[in-house]
């Protein structure tokens, strides 16, 4: 998945386009090996928001890309241009992975790529997407949907989540986390998390859990409880739960479990530690407990996950599992 084509035309939203360029345009410091090759594709000079953008290639380049990103479409009441729709459809038929950011889902739907599939878009436009394209199963309550070769995201911050998800699939958790650190955003939010979160991307030092979350991440090997977290945060368990819902969109225990799983993924990818050692290092206690939660969250066992990523690192090896 080396070549990423950004499909642009008149009427695109510049935020999502810039976001994709930031994620895929340059490798983070310390990441060895080749990075993505990004091509901006469109019909000549394109007005994106208030900016004029000179593109690299025409839309006919899309079928030659490994991944095609369709940024947000500004006016969802207007049908997207036929040449863009046709080019996106041709790219998917040629084998490209196609992902939409925010209202870019309307372009994918017009191309027929979402028929019979789950999809999402910005919560304000999910009803319009469902009414206009009844063959699409629109899920208004998630950040992004991964249907294998077709992926869709909700708005703004969720578009970042989907881009990092693609990097994680292609390069692994540690590289995706390095990209997130460079961009100063949370390294992972599950696609199934609710769209409407009071503070979807908490700014460092600007929320009640700013000191607690880093403290927890440094102690994932310890048997932490909600009471431990509440005591550290100097608040009641009830107040802690409310703040977690506001800041992370989930409960303290569910957030903690996800962090343990992500740490386990990094260790499985980057070390030869046994599953038992990984379980101890992530606070899971036993290999049996780790396997149960890992399989439920990631969709495969820790052993399969490690073999897949190790095999993918060899030249000519097939791509890894499309994890949820």
Catalytic residue ranges = 102
Tokens representing 80? Answer: 């997207």
Cα distance between residue 72 and residue 75, in whole Å: 9
Rounded distance between C-alpha atoms, residue 153 and residue 102, angstroms: 5
Half-sphere exposure of 55 (CA within 13 A, CB side): 23
Q: Which of 193, 195, 162 is nearest to 179 (CA)?
A: 162
Nearest by Cα to 285 from 172, 67, 293: 293
Number of alpha carbons in the 13 Å side-chain half-sphere of residue 247: 22
Burial profile 78-88: b = 16 or more Cβ within 10 angstroms, e = fewer = eebbeebbebb
CA angle 126, 122, 262 (to 5 degrees): 120
């Amino acid at each position: 998945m080396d070549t990423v084509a950004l499909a642009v035309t008149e009427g695109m939203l510049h935020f999502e386009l810039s976001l994709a360029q930031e994620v895929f345009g340059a490798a983070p410091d310390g990441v060895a090996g080749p990075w993505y090759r990004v091509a901006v594709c469109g019909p000549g000079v394109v007005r994106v928001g208030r900016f004029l953008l000179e593109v690299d290639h025409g839309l006919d380049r899309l079928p030659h890309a490994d991944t095609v990103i369709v940024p947000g479409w500004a006016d969802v009441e207007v049908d997207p241009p036929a040449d863009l729709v046709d080019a996106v459809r041709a790219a998917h038929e040629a084998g490209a992975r196609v992902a939409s950011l925010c209202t870019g889902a309307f372009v994918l739907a017009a191309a027929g790529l979402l028929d019979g599939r789950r999809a999402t878009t910005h919560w304000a436009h999910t009803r319009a997407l469902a009414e206009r394209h009844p063959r699409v199963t629109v899920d208004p309550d998630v950040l992004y949907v991964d249907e294998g070769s077709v992926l869709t995201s909700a708005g703004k911050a969720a578009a970042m989540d989907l881009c990092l998800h693609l990097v994680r699939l292609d390069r692994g958790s540690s590289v995706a986390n390095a990209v997130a650190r460079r961009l100063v955003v949370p390294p992972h939010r599950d696609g199934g998390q609710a769209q409407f979160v009071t503070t979807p991307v908490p700014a460092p030092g600007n929320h009640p859990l700013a000191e607690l979350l880093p403290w927890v991440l440094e102690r994932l090997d310890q048997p932490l409880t909600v009471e431990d977290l509440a005591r550290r945060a100097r608040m009641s368990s009830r107040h802690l739960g409310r703040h977690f819902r506001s800041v992370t969109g989930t409960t303290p225990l569910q957030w903690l479990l996800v962090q343990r799983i992500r740490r386990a993924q990094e260790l499985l990818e980057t070390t030869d530690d046994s599953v038992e050692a990984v379980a101890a290092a992530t606070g899971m206690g036993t290999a049996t407990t780790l396997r149960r939660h890992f399989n439920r969250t990631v969709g495969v066992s820790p052993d399969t996950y490690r073999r897949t990523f190790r095999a993918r690192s060899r030249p000519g090896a097939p791509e890894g599992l499309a994890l949820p």
